[in-house]
Amino acid sequence: MILTTTFNLLRKADACKESYTKLRKALKALKGVKDTEPINLITILDVLNIEDALWALRATEQNCDKVARLMASDFAQEALPTWKKYYPNDNRPADAIQAARDFANGLITKEQLNIARAAADAAADAAYDAAYAAAYSAAYSAYSAAYSAYYAAFKAAACASYAAYDAAYDAAGKEKREQIFRSYLQQ
């Protein structure tokens, strides 16, 4: 899927001034993009970084709700091995990630998703109480993915970014996040 934004949409969404200025300068040097011309999010990734590209999901011209939810699920999935290391028999985070995917694909209701989200949240709380920071991060990433799937596109995009940070803290490095991002936007 191709997702685009514009300088107008980025400003309207209160883009980071430093990143906005850097992007404007880079695109002006390349092809003089006007305020209303589409900017591919892959371009933002190439010019800036994964964090700015994920942030830009909140300012797309197209509805990116499904993509943001699925991407958040993939980021959270990267943290599951750490969760399994500490809690091999607890499937709540994995179930929440699957629920987020199912909701994005229209297979379950918001109520069913919310049940899975609450279970993942409880798992995150349990891990935190047990002082396993890495396991907590993995469970919270699953919660973030389910949470992002529950809300509207703007919030889903913001939560996708949040899930990315959580997963990155635990298992998914910058390269993996970029690979996941590109896989959705170069289809």
Q: With pLDDT > 70 as the criterion, what percentage of the chain qualifies?
A: 75
| Residue 28 pLDDT | 87
Region 65-84: mean pLDDT is 90
Question: What value does the CA radius of gyration of the chain take, rounded to a whole number of Å?
Answer: 17
| Residue 165 pLDDT | 46
Distance between CA atoms of residues 130 and 145, nearest Å = 22
Non-local CB neighbours of 86 within 8 Å, separated by 6+ positions: 127, 130, 132, 134, 135
| Residue 13 pLDDT | 95
Q: Are residues 99 and 46 in the same domain?
A: no
Strands (E), the chain: 4-5, 39-40
- For 5, phi and psi rounded to 5 degrees? -135, -175
pTM of the model: 0.75
Place of tokens 């994005």: 104
Region 116-125: mean pLDDT is 86
**Does residue 121 fall inside a structural domain?**
yes
Q: Are residues 47 and 109 in the same domain?
A: no
Distance between CA atoms of residues 146 and 177, nearest Å = 18
| Residue 146 pLDDT | 63
Q: Give the total number of structural domains in the chain.
A: 2
**Does residue 24 fall inside a structural domain?**
yes
Q: Are residues 26 and 79 in the same domain?
A: no
| Residue 106 pLDDT | 96
Mean pLDDT of the chain: 82
pLDDT value at 137 more than 90 = no
pLDDT value at 149 more than 70 = no
What is the residue range of 108's domain?
65-171
| Residue 138 pLDDT | 65
